[in-house]
């Protein structure tokens, strides 16, 4: 602000404050980031449209409606249902309103939700062409799926006696409990134990303390990641204390599981450790890629199975 005198009158003028270099860099970075997001979104939409055209995909018949800008009302409802552990009821309500397949646009990002069996089969098996199977796309995803499918088909013919001790342990816990029992944490414990036993080819009782620490970190990482997924491209805005530490713990223990299984395979020539050994061979002896695949199998074997068992009850 400055002042001057004109014909005896004092005139005051206001000048816009200049941006500091840091402020200028910040504003420019935000603008460039927004432009990058717009261009990336356009390119992705074009690629999706081309993919749909090649594969005879039809546009979704139903589109999720929202009242607030950027579908913040939908996002808020999802977070609330998650805190109340009522996500299944929320999704069921959406599908009943919209139909088996719907388009969702939240925070500017467009995605699709489906419960149509034909769509699910196409995505998981027949047509969908993420370093773990949940995070790959294209040929890498297809290769991972074929590799893991081969492993599980082979396991179907193996002796599943190793599952008995974990199921019996669950039953003993239920028998010795009084009053109402929360089954979900028991199911998570059961599925984690059986999945790790399947992968390592041995009982988990010999390293129970490590499994318990791993399970706590796995819970933390899974819960936070589920929230970050709902934020779409803005996932980085949510990173509560302990999240990155939990991720490091999960990676560290999984690395140790892989290394132990590979070491024991060299000492034991039976088929007990074929799962990790085959992954190791297929991934050109890259333990990091094997670790990523094992984490993805743990997600499917623990979270998905335990949640399904809980919902079924």
For residue range 225-259, list pLDDT tens digits in order. Answer: 888 888 877 888 899 999 999 999 999 988 887 88
Pick 270 or 38 by higher pLDDT.
38
End-to-end Cα, the chain, rounded Å: 71
Per-position DSSP letters for 67-86, written without gaps between them:
SSGGGHHHHHHHHHHHHTT-
According to DSSP, the residues that pair with 105 across neighbouring strands are 110
Give pLDDT tens digits for 8-20: 555 555 555 677 8
Torsion of CA 154, 155, 160, 165, to 10 degrees: 160
For the whole model, what pTM was predicted? 0.66
pLDDT of 82 > 90? The answer is: no
Percentage with pLDDT > 90 across the chain:
9
Q: Which of 14-23, 62-71, 186-195, 256-265 has the lowest mean pLDDT?
A: 14-23
Q: How far is CA 229 from CA 8, 15, 123, 136, 232, in A?
A: 66, 45, 19, 15, 5
Mean pLDDT along residues 148-160: 59
Quick one: what percent of the chain has pLDDT higher than 70?
A: 74
Q: According to the model, what pLDDT value does residue 130 have?
A: 46
The CA distance from 29 to 15, in Å, is 25
């Amino acid at each position: 602000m400055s002042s001057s005198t004109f014909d005896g009158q004092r005139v005051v003028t206001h000048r816009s404050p200049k941006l500091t270099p840091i402020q200028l860099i910040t504003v420019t970075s935000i603008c460039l980031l927004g432009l990058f997001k717009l261009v990336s979104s356009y390119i992705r939409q074009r690629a999706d449209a081309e993919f749909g055209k090649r594969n005879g995909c039809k546009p979704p018949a139903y589109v999720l409606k929202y009242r607030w800008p950027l579908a913040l009302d939908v996002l808020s409802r999802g977070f609330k249902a998650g805190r109340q552990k009522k996500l299944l009821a929320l999704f069921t309500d959406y599908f009943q309103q919209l139909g088996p397949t719907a388009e969702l646009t939240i925070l500017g990002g467009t995605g699709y939700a489906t419960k149509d069996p034909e769509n699910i089969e196409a995505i998981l098996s027949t047509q969908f062409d993420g370093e773990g199977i949940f995070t790959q796309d294209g040929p890498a995803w297809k290769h991972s799926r074929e590799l893991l499918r081969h492993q599980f088909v082979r396991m179907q013919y193996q002796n599943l006696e190793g599952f008995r001790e974990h199921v019996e342990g669950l039953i003993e816990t239920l028998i010795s409990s009084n009053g109402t029992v929360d089954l979900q944490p028991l199911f998570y414990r059961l599925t984690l134990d059986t999945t790790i036993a399947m992968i390592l080819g041995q009982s988990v009782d010999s390293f129970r303390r490590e499994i318990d620490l791993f399970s706590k970190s796995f819970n933390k990482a899974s819960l936070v990641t589920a929230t970050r997924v709902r934020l779409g491209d803005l996932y980085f805005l949510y990173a509560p204390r302990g999240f990155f530490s939990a991720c490091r713990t999960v990676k560290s223990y999984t690395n140790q599981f892989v290394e132990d299984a590979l070491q024991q395979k060299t000492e034991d020539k039976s088929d007990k450790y074929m799962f990790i050994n085959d992954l190791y061979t297929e991934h050109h002896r890259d333990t990091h890629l094997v670790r990523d695949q094992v984490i993805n199998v743990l997600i499917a074997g623990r979270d998905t199975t335990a949640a399904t068992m809980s919902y079924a009850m």
